Amino acid sequence: MYQYDSYDQSMVDARVAEFRDQVQRRLAGEITEDQFKPLRLKNGLYLQLHAYMLRVAVPYGTLSSRQMRLLGDIADKYDRGYGHFTTRQNIQYNWIKLEDAPDILADLASVEMHAIQTSGNCIRNTTSDQFAGAAADELVDPRPYAELLRQWSTFHPEFDYLPRKFKIAMIGSETDRAAMKLHDIGIQLVKNDAGEIGCKFYVGGGMGRTPMIAPVIGDFVPPLQMISYLEACLRVYNRYGRRDNKYKARIKILVHEIGADEYRRQVEEEFAHILTLGLEPPAAELERIKGFFEQPGFDANASDDLDLSDPDFALWVDQNTHAHKQTGYTIVNISLKPTGGIPGDASADQIRLMADLALEYSFDELRVTHAQNIVLPHVKKSDLYTIWQKLDEAGLANANLDLISDIIACPGLDYCALANARSIPVAQKISERFADLGRQRELGELKLKISGCINACGHHHAGHIGILGVDRKGVENYQLSFGGSEGADTSLGTITGPGFNEDGVVDAVEKATDVYLAQRTEGERFLDTYRRIGMAPFKEAIYAKETANG
Amino acid sequence: MKIITGNDLRTGDVIWWTGQGWSRLVNDAVAVGEDADAIIAQENDKQVVTDTHVIDAETTSEGVRPAHIKERIRALGPTVRMDLSLKPADPAAAKWVI
């Protein structure tokens, strides 16, 4: 777990005091909204449809139980008893009062948290693999590198006013669980044949109105030059990014317009220059940071044996746990997707319960996933049944990880000022339509993602099934797409054709799953079948006219 | 008709211009005609309301109905958490926004 040093703490405390003064001056009428708006956004405070919304940064999705408990307390004390975990592994509160915001930030600072870098055209909070430091398939623990990146990017004066926001993901496994290639920069820690660690840089990916998959720009950057290479990537973008046009200002457009080869050439040139400046943090600093992420004190005698005689428990274990690198331990995924619920929402009591479970059973650690779920990364298998029972009592034991009801959905028009259509009601109807867990498991892995506008916070481009809400003359309409993916086989979904109303898109999803079940071959997921047979059979089914006798 | 809406600076609550002041109830909103810009300028100067803007609306048998769904959701609250809306005792109220 990261730890603030005195510099971190004093910077964050100073920022709280500064914002408290800014809020007081705004409330006193001493500064206008035009003057105040960029200041509040720099502190993660948005004005949404119904109230102010505060987005709190969760560094690479990692939380201690003390931090998680405070997030629950904030929900009770300052909001309306719940929080919403987001696709950038953060949490946001929907009902914040301006006058309370400085107190909330002060509370957050007391547990080494803040809301900086959650808005604006800066380097946003870095995301990572939610199984970091725990997954059996991990090559290198990415958290020390992500922490170095956090320290480098926080308040970086050169990159505080970039052409647009900038999102970085960092992983250390073969399996990409962080949608790395759909970020402005994705960094994958890899090993070469000699066993040396290097950073593979993917630059220029993204979703939004112009989705793009990032090409490889740097094949194998030594870890002790990672920051210098990042500086070079950012400098070239900062110099040539399209500040004249908001819709063409992301780095993906620059890389696309000048081409990956030319962008790489310029980065390499800048990189060579930066190496002469000695900007790279000393190796000792990375080693110091690594000390924060030592393996916890695992029980070397822990057993892999599990009593699976309770069928509901067995289902949950099969669906919601993941292989851990340590014998006798497992990774627990807590689904925040109850049938008919709001994806990513958790009540204050649920948040505190998860904090308690982490403290007692997971070496005081939790992770937020970009799929809007929570992870207990280090759970002894002998504790699993007890944990499952406690989760079940709290409505947190839905065994639907990566199934069709494990839906990613942005807040949509129910909360978001940018949205064109509601996302959550569609997610609720789909999860209710497919409520039967046996049916979901029969369908297997099926990632369904919903966005309420083209900004794609719900990652619809990367959904095996994606849904995009649009405004058609003041009426909500939903475009359907198939074939998106965010992992090692990253691909962008293809729109099926004309859109649907809310009920129509739920029906269309069901018809698409029927096509899949009829056409799949052994071992194929929905995505695999779609890729093999193409759009035509799906399109035929979902746009078929009903006959007179049904 | 044209009506004016905004958010309470202190609380962020959605509010509507009543001709005399601000109300949380859209049914209290009044048509402002050609006076919208002057009212907004006057109210912005007071620094108690933010994000003021003019929207289209109509008067129906149920009261004032904003023309666009986004403003109807602002007027009611999130349709997926009716318990947090301005009509918590009326689950069917969500249909009003559609």
B5 phi and psi, to 5 degrees? -135, 170
Q: Give the Cβ contact number of residue A205 at 10 Å.
A: 25
- Backbone phi, psi, residue A166, to 5°: -140, 120
Determine the Cα–Cα distance for residues A80 and B41; give it in Å rounded to an integer.
33
Residue A275, C-beta contacts closer than 8 angstroms, at least 6 positions apart? A225, A228
Identity of the amino acid at A48: Q
pLDDT of residue A550: 42
pLDDT at A487: 87
Whether residue B14 lies within 8 A of chain A, CB to CB, comes out as yes
Fold agreement between A6-59+69-109 and A311-393 = yes
Q: Is residue B30 a contact partner of residue B73, using CB atoms and an 8 Å limit?
A: no
Domain segments of chain A as ranges: 6-59+69-109, 127-291, 311-393, 408-542
Return the CATH number of the domain spanning residue range A311-393.
3.30.70.3340
A404 close to A339: Cβ distance less than 8 angstroms:
no
CB contacts of A50 in chain B (<8 Å) are 12-14, 74, 77-78
pLDDT digits (tens, 9 = 90+) for B73-85: 999 999 999 999 9
Q: What is the pLDDT of residue A547?
A: 53
Chain A residues touching B46 at Cβ < 8 A? 29
Q: How many angstroms separate the CA atoms of A286 and A223, rounded?
A: 9
b (16+ CB within 10 A) / e for B56-86: ebeeeeeebbbeebbbbbbbbbbbbbbeebb
State residue A548's pLDDT score.
47
Residue-level pLDDT at A306: 97
What superfamily would CATH give domain A408-542? Sulfite Reductase Hemoprotein, domain 1 (3.30.413.10)
pLDDT in 10s for each residue of chain A, 550 residues: 899 999 999 999 999 999 999 999 999 999 999 999 999 999 999 999 999 999 999 999 999 999 999 999 999 999 999 999 999 999 999 999 999 999 999 999 999 999 999 999 999 999 999 999 999 999 999 999 999 999 999 999 999 999 999 999 999 999 999 999 999 999 999 999 999 999 999 999 999 999 999 999 999 999 999 999 999 999 999 999 999 999 999 999 999 999 999 999 999 999 999 999 999 999 999 999 999 999 999 999 999 999 999 999 999 999 999 999 999 999 999 999 999 999 999 999 999 999 999 999 999 999 999 999 999 999 999 999 999 999 999 999 999 999 999 999 999 999 999 999 999 999 999 999 999 999 999 999 999 999 999 999 999 999 999 999 999 998 999 999 999 999 889 999 999 999 999 999 999 999 999 999 999 999 999 999 999 999 999 999 999 986 544 4
* Mutation site, B80, B86, B97, B98, interface A, largest A CB count within 10 A: B80
Q: Which of A455, A451, A409, A421 is CA-nearest to residue A210?
A: A455
Contact A90, A129 (CB under 8 A): no
Q: Is 3.30.70 the CATH number for A6-59+69-109?
A: yes
Q: Does B39 touch chain A (CB under 8 A)?
A: no
**What whole-number distance in Å separates Cα of residue A338 and Cα of residue A428?**
9
Residue A488 confidence (pLDDT) = 83
Which of A50, A428, A471 has its CB closest to that of B74? Answer: A50
Residues of chain B contacting residue A424, judged by C-beta atoms under 8 Å apart: 80
Tell me how far apart the alpha carbons of residues A509 and A504 are, in angstroms, rounded to a whole number: 9
Tokens of residue A537, six digits = 């059979």
* Predicted confidence band of residue B91 (pLDDT cuts 50, 70, 90): confident
> What DSSP element (H or E) covers B46?
helix B36-46
Q: Which of A483, A28, A470 is nearest to B48 (CA)?
A: A28
Are B9 and A428 within 8 A, CB to CB?
no
CB contact under 8 A, B10 and A415: no
Give me the residue label for tokens 């962020």.
Answer: B12
| Topology given in CATH for the domain delimited by A127-291 | Sulfite Reductase Hemoprotein; domain 1 (3.30.413)
Chain B nearest C-alpha distance from A8 (Å): 30
From residue A194, give the alpha-carbon distance in Å to each of A111, A191, A283, B87: 41, 8, 20, 66
Interchain pair B80, A32: CB under 8 A:
no
Q: Identify from B5, B9, B83 which residue to disrupt to test chain A contact, counting A C-beta atoms within 10 A and taking the largest count.
A: B9
Residues 60-89 of B with CB under 8 A from A: 67-70, 73-74, 77-81, 84
Whether the predicted pLDDT of B68 surpasses 60: yes
**CA–CA separation, A410 vs A220, rounded Å?**
35
Locus of tokens 């999102």: A167
Nearest-CA residue of chain B relative to A36? B50
